[in-house]
Amino acid sequence: MNDAKHRPIRSFVKREGRMTNAQTRALKELMPRYGITELHTLIDLDELFQRQAPRFIEIGFGMGRSLLQIAAANPDNDYLGIEVHRPGVGSTLLKIDELDLNNLKVINHDAVEVLKAMIPGNSLDGAYLFFPDPWHKKKHHKRRIVKPEFVQQIHAALKPEGIFHIATDWEDYALHIMDLMSAVDNFDNAAGAGNYSDRGDRPLTKYEQRGQRLGHGVWDMIFTKI
């Protein structure tokens, strides 16, 4: 039997590059404090954060810049970041410790598996997906994370009226997402059918600022769980 035929299609490829000594140390020393190391187990969010508060996740937080900025600016909310690439997780752990953030935890794992096995249903006030890999070549479109099964995982995790905020700088991917989300009957477009949103509380990244100067577009979409 060819095992490759039965492997799930991932939305990511691990190209981590070199880990710095600080990132490696953070994964070893800070992950037990600011991260979740027990995988494939349902998370008790109240126990994790030691309180009840509005809860948000960011899927694929990269080096953590937006997530850290949002968490620091909103201490009354709790945030959970999910990222597969260890350098980004290590850097984010270092910054959480430096800023002494008690409202941000991270998971170094595949977001699809986390949503499936670890996030309680109807527990989140919002989910962020900022600049996912667009897999721009047509033959790779099957790797795009935004697909019907993933959308239903997000829907299951959100509370009623919870928001799903997506941003991309690839127009083709934006059109694909808009078409897909407009076709499901359990999300409403917060900006009205077929319309894009402003970026809301999503921080403006340096990459995005540079793109704006060059005339590049960014498309934000915010959908509300029905």
Q: Are 86 and 64 in contact (CB under 8 A)?
A: no
Q: What phi, psi does 24 have (nearest 5°)?
A: -65, -45
Question: CA 225, CA 31: separation in Å to the nearest integer?
Answer: 32
Catalytic residue at 97? no
**Which residue in the list 46, 110, 133, 201 is annotated as catalytic?**
133
Question: CA 75, CA 174: separation in Å to the nearest integer?
Answer: 31
H or E element, residue 105: strand 104-107
**Amino acid letter for position 169:** D
Q: Are 40 and 117 in contact (CB under 8 A)?
A: yes
H or E element, residue 29: helix 21-29
C-alpha R_g of the chain: 17
Residues assigned a catalytic role: 133
